[in-house]
Structure 1
């Protein structure tokens, strides 16, 4: 069965299965879609009668599973069960509220995603660039058994609400830390939480106690904390120095004190290795290493930071050379200036004593 025949038969059979379970199905559609940090795919959407809400899933994955397993009924039963659970746990919000800014502004959260991977989607949504990372805005609508019900704010939504990107960002800076509070732990502490019954054999006061892990309390999309107001400055204050930022994933970042980040090439190689070997593609944030300059308030790619500092040092050297050069020229002028003839002062003749 090819893709088109599978699509036609699958939508008809899924509709029949869901109606047999008591749902009034208005339509089942398969349309191109794209989620943040994921490649484009075909989505299957189930819409209910007398409701603006529905359930959706990845249809491309369903067809891929059918091609691999060859069992049509198994895939259909699986999809039916997933849609049944999704529909039964849908939040009770009226979708018209999504364009009511007073309703959504307290539900906004910040999320960090890879700019290049999400280039097509970023054309349609408001975002703030932080080098090759994009900060997007999501509305959290409710909790479900397998995650959260949410929607990414689009340019179209903003236009309907007559809200500026600046206002959206300002409000998200307030609501996001309240909904997803910052959580910072040492690398040692984070590992100990993950492996509570394992003797790590790591001595206290080592590098693992100085490197920090930044995320949010539910550990979901925690890398967005880099855009929280005051977050980077607060960590620099606690460390007592500036630091490098390792984008572990879209869920957390590592903060490495500048004094420990001498070999930035090694850090970059580590990032590339983890992204390639240990993370699923949708969890990758970036292959770049970053640096935060707390004095200049600059978040930048580490290579850019090194170039900026080198340029400053070259400029400083030029200024020193220029100052020395000016002093030398002044000295040379003094040497070359014609000397005035020195005339000794004539002393008054002494009076002769009588």
Structure 2
């Protein structure tokens, strides 16, 4: 079965489930142009008067189908994903509000995208260019933990609102800096947490501070969570000393579009002053960046590493840039 036929059959099966369980709903398949001009086919279930509805992408499901998963099973999962995603996703902005700047101005935020990879989108989108990046703006339509619905702000929006780009920038900057606080953590702390999660799983009792013994088959046997945690941290410190390098990850508290934190006022300066050096900024994704105290490395080699990771390891939608940035502590400038 080819992709077109697969989509047709999935849509029919999902429509059957919707008709049996919901009222006033429409099922439709459409193309979504995402960040970096990535085009993806999605299925959506739209209820009457809904401002936002989850887009459920079909490419991965087609891969599962080709590996033997059946249509009925996939269709049921898509329907369940819709129910789960829409359960707590409350529409906080209705369609009429979008035409009134005063009603949406507190919900306007910004994020960073790659300029060249989004040239087509930027033709009709207000933006500010920064190096090889662009600041773009969006309205947070609805939100719940782990999920949010947004709509990009277009040239037609600010024209209808009667505002200019400068007013939009001031509004978005203030809202973003206030809501999405920056977070900087040591890389080894993040890796330690990942290792601990893989070792103990759900065995740790979050409400028990006494350090219950971890089940023997889960880790090393006979050790408390605190003891295992200390061992992992000790090993990570050895790795750091061997490499003689400090690495930090910067994102925001939501871990979404956190690369925008590099433009927060004073954030890079405060960090550079703390480590007493210029800073290399590796754009690991649109959601986070890696900060490394400058050590005189060849930035062209770092660029090659970034390009390799972007092309082989990262979802194309999440690529931010192929270049490392340098923050100069003395001049307080961000550049290549």
In the alignment, the residues of structure 1 paired with residue 42 and residue 159 of structure 2 have an alpha-carbon distance, to the nearest angstrom, of 25
Higher relative contact order (CA 8 A, sep 6+): 2
In the alignment, the residues of structure 2 paired with residue 203 and residue 83 of structure 1 have an alpha-carbon distance, to the nearest angstrom, of 44
Where does 1:75-154 land on structure 2 (aligned, <5 Å)?
A: 75-93=74-92, 94-144=94-144, 146-154=146-154
Q: CA deviation at 1:8?
A: 4.0
Cα 1:8–1:263 change in 2 (3 A) is closer
TM norm structure 2:
0.76
Tell me the secondary structure at the aligned position of residue 69 of structure 1.
coil
Where does 1:18-97 land on structure 2 (aligned, <5 Å)?
A: 18-25=18-25, 27-37=26-36, 39-69=38-68, 71-93=70-92, 94-97=94-97
Q: CA deviation at 1:173?
A: 1.3
Aligned to 2:252: 216
Aligned to 1:164: 164
Tell me the secondary structure at the aligned position of residue 75 of structure 1.
helix
Structure 1's unaligned 5+ residue stretches are 302-354
Q: CA deviation at 1:190?
A: 4.3
Which has the greater radius of gyration? 1
Cα 1:167–1:195 change in 2 (3 A) is farther
Aligned to 2:266: 230
Where does 1:176-255 land on structure 2 (aligned, <5 Å)?
A: 176-195=176-195, 197=229, 198=232, 199-200=235-236, 201-202=238-239, 207-209=244-246, 211-255=247-291
In the alignment, the residues of structure 1 paired with residue 292 and residue 10 of structure 2 have an alpha-carbon distance, to the nearest angstrom, of 51
Q: Is the 8 A contact 1:91 1:149 kept in 2?
A: no
TM norm structure 1:
0.72
Cα 1:188–1:168 change in 2 (3 A) is same
1:116-136 CA distances to partner (integer Å, 9 max, x unpaired)?
Answer: 333332333222222222222
Deviation larger for 27-36 or 195-204: 195-204
Q: 2:305 aligns with which of 265, 270, 273?
A: 270
In the alignment, the residues of structure 1 paired with residue 24 and residue 62 of structure 2 have an alpha-carbon distance, to the nearest angstrom, of 25
Q: Does structure 1 residue 293 correspond to structure 2 residue 292?
A: no
Aligned-residue CA RMSD in angstroms?
A: 3.0
1:296-347 CA distances to partner (integer Å, 9 max, x unpaired)?
Answer: 554222xxxxxxxxxxxxxxxxxxxxxxxxxxxxxxxxxxxxxxxxxxxxxx
In the alignment, the residues of structure 2 paired with residue 203 and residue 79 of structure 1 have an alpha-carbon distance, to the nearest angstrom, of 44
Q: CA deviation at 1:285?
A: 1.7
Q: Is the 8 A contact 1:109 1:180 kept in 2?
A: no
Q: CA deviation at 1:231?
A: 2.8
